[in-house]
Structure 1
Amino acid sequence: MGKLAVIAIGGNSLIKDKNRVDLMSQLATVQETCRQIAELVQRGWKVAVTHGNGPQVGFLIRRAELAAGELPLIPLEFAVADTQGAIGYMIQQSLINEFRRRGIHRQAVTVVTQVVVDREDPAFQNPTKPIGSFMTREEAERHAQEDGWTVVEDAGRGWRRVVPSPEPQKIVEGAAIKDLINAGYIVICAGGGGVPVVEKNGLLAGVAAVIDKDYASSLLATEIGADLLAISTSVSRVAINFGKPDQQELDCLTAAQAETYLAAGQFPPGNMGPKVKAILRYLHRGGREGLITSPGELVTAVEGNSGTRIIK
């Protein structure tokens, strides 16, 4: 069979219109992206699909907050697992339907994926990742006291819960994912960066944290020996001087050039920075090629006619 690609889909990219955040609208967007993925499969690529879940976890936690008078809150790690299943279902069904339309005799499966993190990771001492809805000070203080949340005031807009974002160390189901790919399956996995777990005395336990999905995708690509790590985002190419009159889109970068631009602040931490860092990690660990592009240009980008490639 052909080369292996890890394709990372952003959770925000599943929501095209902020006024239409319902699940059926998200499904329609997933179907568009899956047409691109199916085309790559038809051209001979083996594929593992990862995805973000930031907005979706926020929606789920908000539903739980609204129902708090009748039902218990959902622990964060369970919310990550829940959204892995729901988004995985959308991608899985959309791929299967697209394969059937094209006469491709392939199957897609979703693996609820756990990712090991280090309990001593400094992120646990300094939670910074906001999740859930804005709260009043009184609500925030109540959650801090009753539920152990870490809460912060957010630029005058209200109070929010913040959680740790530790570094991914190991994909628990990595070997199973690789076996499924080698058996011919398209695997949806490591959704939302994976369910964060810690190991103690050889046993696993979930923790209230979130893992950056691009970093987890990078680790997955390394562990399964992928030939390509492709990260989809809201723009078709990476640019320097973004949003300025002298903005310059980049077709190809060496790892050294990407590191130089990163050090110069060209790729902000809350935007393009993690995507570029994720690809650099993959390349430094022996990966072959990274690609950043928009979901609708995935095929043309893989063919070298769009997107930004990062190479050794």
Structure 2
Amino acid sequence: MRIVVALGGNALLRRHQPLTAENQRINVRHAAQALAALVREGHSLVVTHGNGPQVGLLALQAAAGPADGAYPLDILGAESEGMIGYLIEQELAGLLPGRDIATLLTQVKVAADDPAFARPTKPIGPVYDAATAKRLAGERGWQVAPDGDGWRRVVASPKPLEILEARVVSLLVERGIIVICGGGGGIPVVTRKDGSLSGVEAVIDKDFASELLARQLCADMLLLLTDVDAVYADFGTEKARRIDELSAAATALESFPPGSMRPKIAAAASFAGTTGHAAAIGRLEDAAEIVAGRKGTRISG
């Protein structure tokens, strides 16, 4: 099967874990083992990944330098795509000798008038306590918001409209190449009046971008990997109940928390409902079992 595999942030960095190169490499090595298992079973993979902590760190590093050395989020997003793609590619190559692997910088078209630009919601960078987050917001002109048990900087997250390199990705996949692309939801760009492209200050949701990519590639499956084994009703309460299967048509998104799980369910339901192919959500280390239908939550059209 041709599978678009979206790696959650946990594949690269655990919550509250220091954002060091070594920590990222250790986590990527773990993720690569799960991906390699799918390849060995004969599946054709296109791998996407998050970049929230990384792009936030790059923004902090840029802000700490000379005043004229700051870069906008689209350029920082491109930097994070290259950095994370390099780690995934290197670790996968060590597990799959002889296989061709390519990391592709990916531009994603968004609408310049998307209302998301007026309502930043996408968390990036480190987790702070409330006092520190509000102090930094005042000092640096950030917008901040609660995120789990802490606070983080939030930026605009417009809806992805088109994966501009999808045709190139498809050509590579047809030649048997494992492709790593769409990192951090891709590099957000808008079309100018003259038809040229321009980057914008935003970070696209990785799950929605992965769903769009899966549709453009005519993928057989969308696999969203995270740090929980399945979707749960009443998650985090004594009534928590594992859900093995969901119907795209019958899924009530408002019944799930608006944080990390709702976008995944929305993306999975959109893919399954539009294409008729299955999507699935589950734990990274269970990837092969999820594809086989033995673990995780499966979303059907």
Deviation of residue 117 (structure 1)? 0.1
Find the counterpart in structure 1 of residue 183 from structure 2: 191
Distance 1:234 1:139, change over 3 A: closer
Deviation of residue 92 (structure 1)? 0.6
Distance 2:138 2:249 in 1: 46
Q: Does 1:271 align with 2:264?
A: no
Query: Unaligned regions of 5+ residues in structure 1, if any?
Result: 145-150
RMSD: 2.3
Opposite residue 301 of structure 1, the aligned amino acid is: I
Distance 1:285 1:25, change over 3 A: same
Pairing partner for 2:74 from 54, 77, 86: 77
Q: Does 1:179 align with 2:157?
A: no
Deviation of residue 74 (structure 1)? 2.1
Distance 1:170 1:64 in 2: 29
Residue range with higher mean Cα deviation, 182-191 or 135-144? 135-144
Find the counterpart in structure 1 of residue 49 from structure 2: 51
The correspondence of residues 29-108 of structure 1 with structure 2, limited to 5 A, is 29-68=27-66, 72-100=69-97, 105-108=98-101
Deviation of residue 288 (structure 1)? 0.1
Opposite residue 192 of structure 1, the aligned amino acid is: G
Distance 1:293 1:136 in 2: 31
The share of aligned pairs that are identical, in percent, is: 40
Distance 1:206 1:153, change over 3 A: closer
User: Is contact 1:192–1:212 with CA below 8 Å preserved after alignment?
Assistant: yes
User: What are the Cα deviations for residues 207-236 of structure 1, in whole angstroms up to 9, with x where unaligned?
Assistant: 001100000000000000000000011101
Larger Rg: 1
User: What are the Cα deviations for residues 31-83 of structure 1, in whole angstroms up to 9, with x where unaligned?
Assistant: 111112111111110000000000111111122222246x6112111111000
Please report the TM-score for the alignment, with normalisation by the length of structure 1: 0.87
Find the counterpart in structure 2 of residue 217 from structure 1: 210
Secondary structure of residue in 2 paired with 1:74: coil
Distance 1:285 1:214 in 2: 15
Distance 1:271 1:152 in 2: 19
Q: Does 1:240 align with 2:233?
A: yes
User: Is contact 1:53–1:83 with CA below 8 Å preserved after alignment?
Assistant: yes
Distance 1:255 1:139 in 2: 41
Distance 1:6 1:153 in 2: 32
Distance 2:210 2:270 in 1: 10
